[in-house]
Structure 1
Amino acid sequence: MVDDDKSPAREVITDYAQAHFRYFRTADGTVYAQKNGHPVARPIRSQGTTGSHRQELMVGLFRDGHGVFNGTALKEALDLIEALALTEDVQPVHIRVAPGFDGATWLDLGRNDGQSVRIHPSGWDLAVPDPREVCWRRTQLTGELPLPVKDTDGKGIDLLLRLCNFATAQTECLAVAWLIGCLGPSVPVPAPFLTGPQGAGKSTGGRMLVRIIEGMSGDLRRAPKDEENLIAAVAAGWVTALDNLSHMTPDLSDAMCCIVTGAENVKRALYTDGDVVRARYRRPMLLTGIDVGVIRPDLAERLLPLRLERPRVRRTEAELWAEYAEALPVVLGSLLDLAVKVRAAQAETPTDLRMADFAHLCAQLDAATGWGTLAAYRASLDDLNDDVIEGDLLAQTVLRHADTIEAGAAQRMTSTEWLHCLSRLYSGDDLRPLPKGWPTTGKVLSDRLKRLQPTLAARGVLIDSGRTSEGRYLEMTRAQAPPPHEAKRMF
C-alpha cells in the first residue's frame, strides 16, 4: 500500500471510532473506550482475552462495510485517539461495584446487555447505567450474575443459610452483614475467615458466599507465593477468596491488611525508564482454613471469624450446586432487599472499633432486623484477641506484669528497662531460656508493644510512649476496670 492510501485509512478509522465510541482517561492516565450507550469500558491498549478495544473496532468497521484495515493504519489511528483522549475529563472505572448519583450504588451483573442493579435507600431496580455515571471494567474474573428476583420476603436469606453449615445464629448474621458490605464500594469490610473441623464444608461455604457477588464462575484459589501476584489477582476482581490457609507469613498478613483497608501499589512500567504504573485497591477478602497459627494483632482487627460445623446429612456436589444455582436469583434478590432496608436505617456509629464503617453497617442491620449483629461482631473480635494473646508469649507476660499494678496506676520505664523486667518475669526463678522471637533490644520491644497496643487495651492494659529531658520512655497503665464484654453477656 502506498503512502497516499495510509492517510485515508487512518482517517476512516478515526472518524468511525469517534462516531461510535466515547474515549476518556482515568486518574492514572489510562485511556478507555466505551461504546455509545453501553456501560462497559475497555482500555484501548489492552490485548486481553476478554476482548480488546482494537478487536471491537476492527469488527465494527468490517460489519459496517468499511472493510479490513492493516495494523499500521489501526495503530496510527489509536495513537491519535489516545492523544486526543488525554485532554478529556477524568472518570474512574469500576469492577463489579460502583458509586452512582444521589447516594446510589451499582452492582454489575456481568451481562452483555449491560443491565446492572441500582441500589438506593428507596429501593433497587434493574437498569443500564448512564455511561457518564458508571463505567464498568471487566476481566476474566468478572462472572455473570442472574437477574435477581424482586419481593422475595427474605426467602433467599433462609435458603442460603440452609445450604451453609454455620454453627450459630451469630455467625449467620455476620455472614449476611459481610455480603451487604460487599455491595458498598466505600465500606471496608473485614475478611471472613471460615473455620471449623474437617468436613465442615468450609470451601463449599466460601464458594457459596463468593458466588453471590461474583457469579457461578467465582471460585477460591490458593494464596499466591508473593505479594505482586496477590495484588494482580486482587486488582482483576472484586472479592478475593483464598482457600485452605494453614500458615500466615508476616508479608502475607501485612498484604491482607492493606487489601482490606486500602492501599496503592506503584511499579515501573514495562519498557520504560521513568514511567510508573499505579494500582489502587481496596477489596473484600474471604479466607478458609482449619487453623493459620499465630495471628498478628493488626490482621486480627480486620478478620471476621465464621465457624462452621459438620453437616448431619451429606449430599453430592452435583445435587448441592444444582440447588444453589436454582436458588441464586432469589438469594441475590433477598440480599438486595435487605441492603435497601439497611441503608435506609438510622444507627449510631460505634467509635471504639477499628473497622468503624463495618461496625456502623452492623448497627444499621440491627436497626432493620433486630438480629444483634453488632454484639456478635464485638464477641468475634474478643475471641480473636484471645487467639492473639494465646499465640504471643510477650503479650502473656505483659498481662502478668500488669496484674501487679494497681488499678488506675501507671508505671514508667525506658524500653531497655522494660525489656529486662519482662525478660526476668518470663524466665522466673528457674531461669528458663527466652523463646525464639523474644525481643532482643529495647527498640524491638517498643515496636512489638506498639503492634500489641489494641490487643492489650482490650484487656485493660494501656501502653503509651513519650519523651522527657532524660530520654524516651514507655508507660504501662492498668485501667480502672476491664472494658465491658457486651457481646458475651448477650449470648
Structure 2
Amino acid sequence: MADDDKTPAREIITDYAQEHFRYFRTPDGTVYAQKNGHPVARPIRSQGATGSHRQELMVGLFRDGRGVFNGSAIKEALDLIEALALSEGVQPVHIRVAPGFDGATWLDLGRDDGQSVRIHPTGWDITIPDPREVCWRRTQLTGELPLPAKDTDGKGVDLLMRLCNFANADTESLALAWLIGCLGPSVPVPAPFLTGPQGAGKSTGGRMLIRVVEGMSGDLRRAPKDEANLIAAVAAGWVTALDNLSHLTPDLADAMCCVVTGAEDVKRALFTDGDVYRTGYRRPLLLTGIDVGLIRPDLAERLLPLHLVRPKVRRTEAELWAEYEEILPVVLGSLLDLTVKVRAVKAETPTDLRMADFAHLCAQLDAATGLGALSAYRASLDDLNDDVIEGDLLAQTVLRHADTIAPGAAQRMTSTEWLHLLSGLYSGEELRPLPKGWPTTGKVLSDRLKRLQPTLAALGVLIDSGRTREGRYIEMACSPATPPHEQQAF
C-alpha cells in the first residue's frame, strides 16, 4: 500500500476514542472522557497517579489490536477531541456525593465496577448510575467503600457509637446528624471539632466518622501551613479531616469558614497570560484537638463541638480496627436507612441559626427518632459563644459596659469615642495597660465589633452601625427580651 493510502495515526486514534468514550465539558470548561457505560470520568489532560485518559486510551488501542502509537499522534488526536468537546453539552462531575434525578442523591462507593448507592425518597439501592445522570471524578483520596448491608434494623448506628468515646447521647446525636449531612450534596454542615482530655481517642473517633463516608483509606491530616494547601486537599476529596489542632491562624480560620459554607478559588491558568482556572468547593470538614485557643466568632458559628471521654478499657489498634472494618457494611447500611427516614420527615426550619440547613436536618432527625439533636446543637453553640467571650477581652469589656445600658435603650457614638470609652473601662482607675491585640484605631474597633455581632447578639447586646450628616456611628443596645447577663470576669 502506498504511503498516501495509509490512514494517519491521529485519525485512527480519534475514531477509536469517539467509538469507545463519551467526551463532554464541565461548567469550568475542563474536558472529560467517560468510557461508555461507566460512570467514572477523567480529565483528558490529566497525568494523575490514579490513571489518566491518555493511559486508558493507549491500553485500549493496544488490547483491541489497533496498534501502538507514539505520543505525538495521541496528542494530536486529543487536541482535536478537546476542540470538538467544547461544542458539546455541559455536565458537572462530582466527588463521592452527587445530586440525581427526581430528588435522588448518589454515593460513590469508589469501586472499579462503578457500583454506587442511589438514595431516593422511598429507599436506597445499589446500582450503576446512568452516565448522563451522574459523572464521578476520582482522585488518590477516593477510597473504596464496602457494599452496604440491607435490613440492618438500625443496629449499625449502635455498633458505631459503642466504638466511639462520645461523652453523652447529645454528642452522639450531633455526630449522627453530621454523618447524614455528609450524604447530602446540597447541605452545608458545620465542622465537627472532637475535643476531650488526652487519651480520649479523639483521632481514633475522627477516623471512625470519616471512614463511614470515605472508606478504610480515609485518614486524618496535619493542618496545612497556608490556605492554598488547604484548598488543594479540599478540592481533591469529599471529607477533609485535620488532626491535633492547637492553634488557628486568622487566614486558616477564614479558609475553614469558606470550606464549610462554600467559596470559589480563581487562579491564572498555567502557560497562559489571560486565562483563569476556577475551583469551586464546599466540603464537610472535621477537626480534632484538645484546645485551639482563641476561636473567632465567624468560625465558631460553623463548628460542631463533639466531646469525648477517656475509655475505661483500652484495646489494641489491630483489634479495634479489625472490628470496625467488619461492622462497616452494617454501619453504612444503617446510616443509609436512617437518611431515607429522616429525609421523608417534614420539620420546620429554625430561622435564628446561621447553619439553617443543618439545624433543619437536626429537626428532621428529632422528628424521625426523638433524639433531641436540635436542642443539643443550640447548647453547643451557646458553649462556643462562651468560649469566644472568654478568649476575647474586647468582648468582655463590651458586655461589662452593656450592663450599664437599660434594657430596650441604645447608646450611639463614633467609633473613636467608643474606643476611648472601652479602653478607659478596661484600664480602670489603676490604668492597667491595654493587652496585645487591642484595637488601636476607631476603624479597627469597628471591624472587630462587626465580627463579634452574632456572639454579642446571642447575649442580648445588639451592635449596629450607620451614617448621619455628622458622620459614621456605632450603636449599642440591650435587647428588651433578654435579661441582663452576668458580668464577665477579667
TM-score normalised by length of structure 2: 0.97
8 A Cα contact 1:458 1:483, kept in partner: no
Instruction: Find the counterpart in structure 1 of residue 488 from structure 2.
Output: none
Q: What are the superposed Cα offsets for residues 200-256 of structure 1, whole Å, 9 maximum, x if unpaired? A: 000000000010000000000001111111110000000000000000100000000
Q: Does residue 208 of structure 1 match 2:216? A: no
Q: Secondary structure, in 3 states, of the residue corresponding to 2:130?
A: coil
Q: Distance in 1 between matches of 2:216 and 2:275?
A: 38
The change in CA–CA distance for 1:163 and 1:5 in structure 2 (over 3 A counts) is farther
SS of the residue 1:237 aligns to? coil
Q: Is this contact kept in 1: 2:407–2:484, CA < 8 A?
A: no
C-alpha distance in structure 2 between counterparts of 1:443 and 1:6, whole Å: 75
How far 1:8 moved relative to its partner?
Answer: 2.1
The answer as to 2:118 corresponding to 1:81 is no
Question: Residue 181 of structure 2 aligns to which amino acid in structure 1?
Answer: G
Give the aligned partner of residue 190 of structure 2: 190
Specify the alignment match of 2:241 in structure 1.
241
What is the SS of the residue equivalent to 2:137?
coil
Question: In the alignment, residue 361 of structure 1 is paired with which amino acid?
Answer: L
Any idea what the Cα deviations from partners look like across 1:4-49, whole Å, max 9, x if unmatched? 5885211111111001100000011100000000000000000001
Amino acid at match of 1:337: D
Partner of 1:137: 137
Q: Which deviations, in whole Å up to 9, do the C-alpha atoms of 1:403-457 show, x marking residues without a partner?
A: 0000111111111111111111111111101111111111111110000000000
Give the whole-Å Cα distance in 2 for the aligned partners of 1:216 and 1:346: 34
Give the Cα–Cα distance (whole angstroms) in 2 for the partners of residues 349 and 21 of structure 1.
44
Partners of 1:195 and 1:288 within 8 A in 2: yes
Kindly state the Cα deviation for residue 483 of structure 1 after the two structures are TM-superposed: 8.1
| SS of aligned partner of 1:466 | strand
* Inter-CA distance 444–427: structure 2 relative to 1 (3 Å threshold): same
Q: Which residue is 1:315 aligned to?
A: 315
Match of residue 476 from structure 1:
476
Q: Spell out, residue by residue over 1:374-423, the C-alpha distance to the aligned partner (whole angstroms, 9 max, x if none).
A: 00000000000000000000000000000000011111111111111111
Aligned pairs, how many?
484
One-letter identity of the residue aligned with 2:52:
S
The residue correspondences of 1:289-328 to structure 2 (distance < 5 A) are 289-328=289-328
| 1:23 counterpart residue number | 23
Per-residue CA distance 1:67-126 (angstroms, 9 max, x = gap): 111111111110000000000000000000000000100000000000000011210000
CA distance in 1, matches of 2:56, 2:178: 37
The answer to whether the aligner puts 1:271 opposite 2:279 as a matched pair is no
The equivalent residue for 2:418 is 418
Q: After TM superposition, give the deviation of residue 354 of structure 1 in Å.
A: 0.2
Q: Distance in 2 between matches of 1:349 and 1:438?
A: 38
Identity percentage of aligned residues: 87
- Tell me which residue corresponds to 2:285: 285
Residue aligning to 2:43: 43
Give the drift of 1:481: 2.8
Describe the SS at the equivalent of 1:98. Answer: strand
Q: Distance in 2 between matches of 1:483 and 1:223?
A: 41
Q: Quote the Cα distance in structure 1 between the aligned partners of 2:454 and 2:6.
A: 67
Q: Which residue of 2 aligns with 1:255?
A: 255
Question: Equivalents in 1 of 2:5, 2:221: separation in Å?
Answer: 51
Alignment correspondent of 1:165: 165
- Amino acid of the structure 2 residue aligned with 1:411: Q
Q: Unmatched 5+ residue regions in structure 2?
A: 486-490
CA contact (8 A) 1:6 1:73 kept: no
2:17 is matched by which residue type in structure 1? Answer: A
The answer to whether the 8 A contact 2:460-2:484 is kept is no
Segments of structure 1 that go 5 or more residues without pairing to the other structure are 486-491
- Residue 365 of structure 1 corresponds to 365
Q: Which amino acid aligns with 1:50?
A: T
Deviation at 1:272, TM superposition (A): 1.5
Partner Cα separation in structure 1 for residue 6 and residue 235 of structure 2: 38
Report the AA paired with residue 219 of structure 2: D
Aligned mates of 1:239, 1:274 — CA distance in 2: 33
Q: Separation in 1 of the partners of 2:246 and 2:48? A: 34
CA contact (8 A) 2:95 2:138 kept: yes
Deviations along 1:165-223, whole A, 9 cap, x unmatched?
00011000000000000000000000000000000000000000010000000000001
Distance between the aligned counterparts of 1:460 and 1:6, measured in 2? 82
CA separation in 1, counterparts of 2:4 and 2:451? 69
Note if 1:126 corresponds to 2:126. Answer: yes
Once the two structures are TM-superposed, the CA of residue 3 in structure 1 deviates from its matched residue by: 8.1
- Alpha-carbon distance in structure 2 between the residues aligned to 1:481 and 1:357: 26
